[in-house]
Amino acid sequence: MNRFSVVAASACQKFGRLSGTNVPQRCFASQKNAHGWCSMDIGRSKDVHATTVLSVRKNGHTVVVADGQVTQGDMVVKGNVKKVRRIGPKKNILIGFAGSTADALTLFDRLEQIVESNGGQLRRACVDLVKAWRSEKYLRHLEATLIVADETTTFELTGNGDLLESEDGIFAIGSGGGYALAASRALLDSGLTAKEIAFKAMKIAANLCIYTNDNFVVETLEPPANGASTASDKPATPTEQLSQTNATSTPAT
């Protein structure tokens, strides 16, 4: 490294301390541009994933919907990517991702292995995944944000060790997540279904966010079947109660 590179690297680090920007340590001569100045990767620590993924739960119905756009820099390279998948032994767990596709698929596989090994306990599986994501050398560099939902709970997982549970059944991630989240909460008290709310909110996000298109992929979960009342769950009528009393009070012969 020559003298100029040392001075440039020192200037980069000084700028980072003054501005509070996380300037990378790897500032060497090979990163100088045509004018001889070193390149500073300013703002890298604040990556915003260019997509929108939304989860809405209402009246027992769970919906996870995502757009299909993929961008590289300022160019759209694909518009029909599937960013929502099903995992689990019963395929009753929905996952949506924002970030690197390869990293997200790696996390999908790890979460599915954990879910299958612990008998389908989603909460425990999410905790184990976040712990591994932070501690394992192979996983800690994966850049993605996940929304994970089943019939009763919704979680947001990040590589920073965050495991958040939704308090109102709504989560949104990605560059258009704020628009979709605000629209969903505004529509939650309306007479619309969870699927209708999700589509309307995603339409708003697609109109506002340049990294989100309207080619949506949606997955839904219906309310748990065991919530329906069966004959044994129904209260007995007075006639049935009287016949049961007489049957128990009759001595055996």
Q: What is the 3-state secondary structure (H, E, C) of 46-106?
A: HCCCCCEEEEEEECCEEEEEECCCEEECCEEEECCCCCEEEECCCCCEEEEEEECHHHHHH
Active site annotation includes 106: no
**Tokens standing for residue 106:** 């790696």
Candidates 51, 62, 154, 212; catalytic one:
51
Amino acid at position 18, single letter: L
Q: Phi and psi (nearest 5°) for 83?
A: -105, 10
Class of residue 97 by CB neighbours under 10 A (exposed 0-12, middle 13-18, buried 19+): buried
Active site residues: 51
